[in-house]
C-alpha cells in the first residue's frame, strides 16, 4: 500500500514536470516566433562627411575642410520572411559647408553676382557657403542581422531628397565682413544617390548629388554655375 502510494505521487510529479517543461518550451518557441515576426531595424542615424564640389568652373577651388553633419530617423519595413531585406523611409536634418574661393556679391537691387577670388586681388580668412536642409532618405536595405544578432554587415542604398531651409554665405577679408542669407539663386530642392555600407557601428557613407546646388540664374563668366556635391564620410546607426 505504501509502495503504491509512492509510485502514484512520483507519477504525478513527473507528469506535472514534463507538462511544465513542454509548456515552457512552447512559450519560448512562441516568444521567438513573435520576436522574429516583428523584428525590424528602425534606427536613429548620425553622420559626418567631407564635402566636395564637382563640375566646377575654371579656377574654382576648395580650401580648408568642408564638413557636413547629418542626423535623423529611418523607419524599417522588411519585405522578406527572414526580414533581412527591407525598404527604409526616413526623415532627418543636415548641415553642409563649402569653403572655396568663389566670391558672392549682392548689389543694391538684391541681385547676386559670382566671381573667383585670387590671392593677388583680395586677401581673406573666410569664404564659406553653408546650407541647412531637411532630408528624406529612401533606402533599399540588406543586412546579415537576425532578431538576436546586433553586430552584422549591411549595405543600404537609395536616394535622398532634400529641401534647403536656410543658407548662409560668410566672407572675412581685406574689404571687410560680408554676410548673405537665403540666396535667391540657391536651388532649394536638392537630391542625390546614397550608399552606406559597413559592419556593426562603423559604416562608410557616400552621397552623389544629381542636381546642382544653384539654380540656372546663377552665372559665372557668363556660364551657368552648375556645381553639385559629392559627400564622403561615416554614418552611425543606433537602435
CB neighbour class for 177 (10 Å; exposed up to 12, middle 13-18, buried from 19): exposed
Give the per-residue pLDDT at 147: 78
Q: Average pLDDT of 102-118?
A: 91
- 61 in Cβ contact with 100 (< 8 Å): yes
The angle subtended at Cα 158 by Cα 157 and Cα 163, nearest 5°, is 135
Contacts of residue 36, Cβ cutoff 8 Å, sequence gap at least 6: 83, 146, 147
Q: Give the Cα separation of 141 and 157 in Å (integer).
A: 7
> Which of 104-108, 119-123, 126-130, 171-175 tops mean pLDDT?
126-130
Q: Which three cell numbers stand for residue 164?
A: 534647403
pLDDT at 209 over 80: yes
Q: By three-state DSSP, how is residue 158 classified?
A: strand
User: Is the model more confident about 44 or about 6?
Assistant: 44
Of the candidates 234, 123, 100, the one whose C-alpha atom is nearest the C-alpha of residue 174 is 123
Of the candidates 118, 227, 94, 98, the one whose C-alpha atom is nearest the C-alpha of residue 173 is 118
Q: Average pLDDT of 35-55?
A: 85
Confidence of residue 41 (pLDDT cuts 50, 70, 90): confident
Q: Give the Cα separation of 142 and 59 in Å (integer).
A: 42
Q: How far is CA 122 from CA 64, 167, 221, in A?
A: 17, 24, 18
pTM above 0.85, yes or no: no
Q: Average pLDDT of 9-24?
A: 47
Give the per-residue pLDDT at 4: 54
Number of H helices, E strands in the chain: 1, 13
Give the per-residue pLDDT at 119: 66
- 203 in Cβ contact with 129 (< 8 Å): no
pLDDT at 206 over 60: yes
pLDDT at 5 over 70: no
Confidence of residue 199 (pLDDT cuts 50, 70, 90): very high
Q: Look-up: residue for cell 540657391?
A: 186
Amino acid at each position: 500500500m505504501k509502495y503504491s502510494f509512492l509510485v502514484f505521487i512520483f507519477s504525478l510529479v513527473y507528469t506535472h514536470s514534463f507538462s511544465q517543461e513542454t509548456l515552457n518550451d512552447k512559450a519560448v518557441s512562441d516568444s521567438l516566433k513573435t520576436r522574429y515576426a516583428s523584428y525590424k531595424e528602425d534606427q536613429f542615424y548620425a553622420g559626418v562627411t567631407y564635402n566636395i564640389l564637382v563640375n566646377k568652373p575654371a579656377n574654382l577651388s576648395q580650401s580648408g575642410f568642408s564638413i557636413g553633419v547629418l542626423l535623423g530617423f529611418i523607419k524599417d519595413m522588411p519585405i522578406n520572411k527572414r526580414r533581412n531585406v527591407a525598404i527604409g523611409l526616413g526623415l532627418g536634418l543636415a548641415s553642409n559647408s563649402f569653403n572655396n574661393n568663389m566670391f558672392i556679391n549682392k548689389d543694391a537691387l538684391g541681385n547676386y553676382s559670382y566671381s573667383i577670388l585670387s590671392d593677388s586681388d583680395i586677401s581673406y580668412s573666410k569664404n564659406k557657403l553653408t546650407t541647412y536642409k531637411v532630408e528624406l532618405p529612401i533606402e533599399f536595405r540588406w543586412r546579415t542581422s537576425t532578431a538576436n544578432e546586433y553586430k552584422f554587415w549591411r549595405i543600404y542604398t537609395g536616394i535622398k531628397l532634400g529641401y534647403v531651409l536656410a543658407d548662409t554665405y560668410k566672407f572675412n577679408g581685406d574689404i571687410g565682413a560680408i554676410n548673405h542669407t537665403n540666396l535667391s539663386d540657391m536651388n532649394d530642392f536638392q537630391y542625390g544617390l546614397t550608399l552606406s555600407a559597413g559592419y556593426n557601428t562603423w559604416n562608410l557613407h557616400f552621397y552623389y548629388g544629381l542636381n546642382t546646388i544653384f539654380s540656372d540664374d546663377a552665372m559665372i563668366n557668363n556660364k551657368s554655375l552648375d556645381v553639385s556635391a559629392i559627400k564622403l564620410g561615416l554614418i552611425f546607426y543606433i537602435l
